Structure 1
Amino acid sequence: MLKFLVLFSLTLLILMMPQLSALFHWQHDVTSSHQWWRIFTGSFTHINAYHLGMNVIGYWLLAYLFRTPTKGFILHTAVLALCVGIGLMFTSTQNYYGLSGVLHGLFAVYVLKEILAGRLSSWLLLMGLIAKLIAENNHMMPISSAALIGARVSTESHLIGSVCGLALPLIALGWRRLR
């Protein structure tokens, strides 16, 4: 896992180069018309070093907090990046940078997997996530990281990532039961 996390973090750092960021960040107009790769790559671009740092720290914490296998973590990251990119197409968002939608989704995936495995204390984590989403999508909490990153925080991506993250373990469970 450590090798992957280092490589992934360095990739995110490289994607901060202005030429690459301009080519890969999620942008509604060009994504919907012809630059479809941005649906996937938008989650891997960042506004500035603070933004990147917060997201990378969150990513590493999730990897170690939930002690997930590397392949599963990579797969969930990729699927959630795609889900967030597609989901944002149905919002008024025009530009999106960052991993926060994926981070919310990863948290949701692994909390729900713990709940499904019988870990009752994870219900508290799920309730905390739901409370956070309700609060930030109803303007009930100050979003102080917006000042730090110099951009609006995309609460839509948090909600999309969380919903997709909750859906993934349920889809996997249903698939296993059908087979």
Structure 2
Amino acid sequence: MNKVIPNTHGLIIVNLVVVLLCLFIELDLNTHAYAWDVTAFNEGRWWVFVTGSFTHFNAIHAALNLMGLVVITALFKPKALELAMAIVLATFGVSAGMYVLGASSYIGLSGVLHALFCFYALRGVINGAIENKILLLGLLLKVGNETLFGVTDRAIWLIGGEVNTQAHLVALYLVVVGVIAKMTCFTFEIPTKAKEQYS
């Protein structure tokens, strides 16, 4: 008899997989080999397209991002498989966006986290969750502030490197375009007569 894994257990597993991936990269002495770098990608090190989001400047940077993932999981309580797919799509989406925009390097999970937060908050707004409007507004104000005025020196010192705010913007664009595309292109109903004609 097949046992279904409860969603809470599934969410813990998804979070643990991300933690272990980040930990594996963090403990490797050759960490820079995993960083998102356009030169490395163009030279054939294709894996940096994925691993860059799971590479961090230091342990504090990794811990802050992983805490962010736990908060997003606890706040929005998504389905485990959906969260796993969203992480995969956001990883590729942010990497592709950075590549298209001509970024030279990128490191950290924050782009993926911004995409996840934006997606779940926006979906909540679309589904009528009023509190999600506040969450979405807060995210937009945060990204707008750091885009216009930059991040604090303390934040840069804490994580041991520059915060790539471009990745945060890419994440928001990615989600908005994705949601609009889904709403306009993939939600139409086939008329009943057409269903009967082609069935």
For residues 161 and 154 of structure 2, what CA distance do their matches in structure 1 show? Answer: 11
Show the 5 A alignment for 1:11-22: 11-19=21-29, 21-22=31-32
Bigger shift: residues 80-89 or 137-146: 137-146
Match of 1:139 in 2: 149
Match of 1:63 in 2: 73
Match of 1:177 in 2: 188
Show the 5 A alignment for 1:3-152: 3-19=13-29, 21-91=31-101, 93-139=103-149, 142=152, 144-152=154-162
Q: Which protein shows a greater Rg?
A: 2
Report the TM-score when normalising by structure 1: 0.90
Task: Measure how far apart 1:47 and its partner are.
Answer: 1.3
Bigger shift: residues 105-114 or 167-176: 167-176
Identity of aligned residues (%): 26
Provide the alpha-carbon RMSD of the alignment: 1.9
Match of 2:7 in 1: none
Bigger shift: residues 60-69 or 36-45: 36-45
Task: Measure how far apart 1:162 and its partner are.
Answer: 1.7
Q: 1:140 to 1:152 in 2, by over 3 A?
A: closer
Task: Measure how far apart 1:139 and its partner are.
Answer: 1.4
Q: What one-letter code is carried by the residue in structure 1 that aligns with 2:95? A: G
Report the TM-score when normalising by structure 2: 0.81
Point out where structure 2 has 5 or more consecutive residues left out of the alignment: 1-10, 191-199
Q: What secondary structure sits across from 1:15 in the alignment? A: helix
After superposition, give the CA deviation of every residue in 1:110-168 in whole Å (9 maximum; x if it has no partner).
Answer: 01110111112322222221111211111165363211011000000111112212333
Equivalenced residue count is 179
Bigger shift: residues 60-69 or 126-135: 126-135
Q: What secondary structure sits across from 2:81 in the alignment? A: helix
Point out where structure 1 has 5 or more consecutive residues left out of the alignment: none
For residues 20 and 177 of structure 1, what CA distance do their matches in structure 2 show? Answer: 49
